[in-house]
A and B are shown apart, each in its own frame.
Chain A
Amino acid sequence: MYDAWKILVGLAIFVALFTAAFWMNAGKAAPVPEPKIDTPEIKKMAKAERKCVEDKHFMRTTHMQLINHWRDQALRDGNRDYINKDGKKYYISLQNTCMKCHSNKKDFCDKCHDYTGVSPYCWDCHIAPKEEPKRNEL
């Protein structure tokens, strides 16, 4: 092999650069996000009624399909009523139903979306609720 020394050094540099992202982030796992549900609207609800349109596990895993389905049902079929598994009726609207309770987009939506590296384009059109700057007192 000609120029073995040069090739080996080059290879070593290449491998080091290529895997740099792994070395630099080793042992620094981002903390698992904990979306907050302490908005005024949710606090107002009685403890027993503090529920989303479906149960927590379903919402965590399937909210994207549900919202997708809601959009088609409201826009295409003009049917804006959603009846959940318990038979309770909800008005289908991202801004007027979801975000009325979850008025903390930054501490709720964004937390997990940032963690999982997804960027849904909901907010290109839909208006996120105004979030008051955090107060230290109170």
Chain B
Amino acid sequence: MSMNRREFIKIAGLSTLFGLGGKGAFELLRPGTLDAAVHHGEEHAPEEPAEAAIRWGMVIDVEKCSEPGVVDKCIKACHSTHNIPDFGNSKNQVKWLWRDDYEHTFAGNENEYMDDHVKELPFLCLCNHCDEPPCVRVCPTKATFKRPDGVVAMDYHRCIGCRFCMAACPYGSRSFNWFDPRKALNEKEFNMEFPTRMRGVVEKCNFCVERLAQDKLPACVEAAPQALFFGNLADPDSNVRQILRKRSSMRRKLELGTKPSVFYLV
């Protein structure tokens, strides 16, 4: 096919015109057809009710945690319930529930005149199940998402191991499986009612959604009911709301606007 310059410019011009005006023409002749695909997706997005009926939250009484054995008991309960491997080094550590000190838990908010006693208390750290979870915003596959009851959950089937969420989480609550976790687990001690993870996915505390579904408390709360409290933050009469009314509490890195739902009583 041969074409001279004049014809080429004509066709190019017409194509450009159609490209620029095409959407307008569609809107004019068949309104709504082009946007259908876009709106279709939005319909299926979970609509968040203005006032959720349930908003799970946790209150940690740090003084009570300092009693001997309490912290270890909670961590053990969590780890055995969820088949969490122990590789024996912090580089490959998988963290769901762990202990840290005041200085690191509340980095940036330290009060230098605070009683030394507080600085040595064991702070239990876990996923804060934020109201505005940054990990959910960055996840490219929607493998991590916020449930209507406030739990930031993960779908390991969809996780591609990109670790954006680990970079986004300001609390270090997410861990990457560098190795097959079953290598560091004792097969005889598997909790047969819960899966393990596989190499190459990110994991974190799930607020025991599988136990909540059966009307049970999270494993750590069950292990230390005197120190950890779990309940519905949306209900003004719930146990956690009553505690939070009576005592002053702290939350981690509030200045970031993530609105964590784990509260610490000191």
| B133-166 interface (Cβ within 8 A of A) | 145, 147-149, 153, 155-157
Whether the Cβ atoms of A75 and B155 lie closer than 8 Å is yes
Whether the Cβ atoms of B153 and A125 lie closer than 8 Å is no
Query: Which residues of chain A are within 8 angstroms of B209 by Cβ–Cβ distance?
Result: 78
Q: Is A126 an interface residue (CB 8 A)?
A: yes
Q: CB-nearest residue of chain B relative to A81?
A: B213
Q: Is A76 an interface residue (CB 8 A)?
A: yes
Whether the Cβ atoms of B213 and A125 lie closer than 8 Å is no
| B151-204 interface (Cβ within 8 A of A) | 153, 155-157, 190, 192-198
Query: Which residues of chain A are within 8 angstroms of B157 by Cβ–Cβ distance?
Result: 71, 75
Q: A125-B156, A126-B195, A127-B192 are in contact. Are A80 and B213 (CB under 8 A)?
A: yes
Query: Which residues of chain B are within 8 angstroms of A124 by Cβ–Cβ distance?
Result: 198
Q: Is A96 an interface residue (CB 8 A)?
A: yes
| A60-75 interface (Cβ within 8 A of B) | 71, 74-75
Out of A75, A80, A129, name the residue touching B192 (CB < 8 Å): A129
By secondary structure, the A interface counts as loop
Please, how many angstroms separate the alpha-carbon atoms of A40 and B218 in the complex?
A: 32
Please, how many angstroms separate the alpha-carbon atoms of A74 and B214 in the complex?
A: 12
Give the interface size bracket for B toward A. Answer: 10 to 19
Q: CB-nearest residue of chain A relative to B158?
A: A75
Whether the Cβ atoms of A125 and B155 lie closer than 8 Å is no
Whether the Cβ atoms of A127 and B155 lie closer than 8 Å is no
Q: Is A95 an interface residue (CB 8 A)?
A: yes
Query: Which residues of chain B are within 8 angstroms of A71 by Cβ–Cβ distance?
Result: 155, 157
CB of B13, distance to nearest CB on chain A (Å): 49
Please, how many angstroms separate the alpha-carbon atoms of A130 and B192 in the complex?
A: 9
Out of A74, A78, A96, A130, name the residue touching B193 (CB < 8 Å): A96
Query: Which residues of chain B are within 8 angstroms of A96 by Cβ–Cβ distance?
Result: 193
CB of B199, distance to nearest CB on chain A (Å): 8
| B47-70 interface (Cβ within 8 A of A) | none
A-binding residues in B (CB < 8 A): 83, 145, 147-149, 153, 155-157, 190, 192-198, 209, 213
B-binding residues in A (CB < 8 A): 71, 74-76, 78, 80, 93, 95-96, 121, 124-127, 129-130
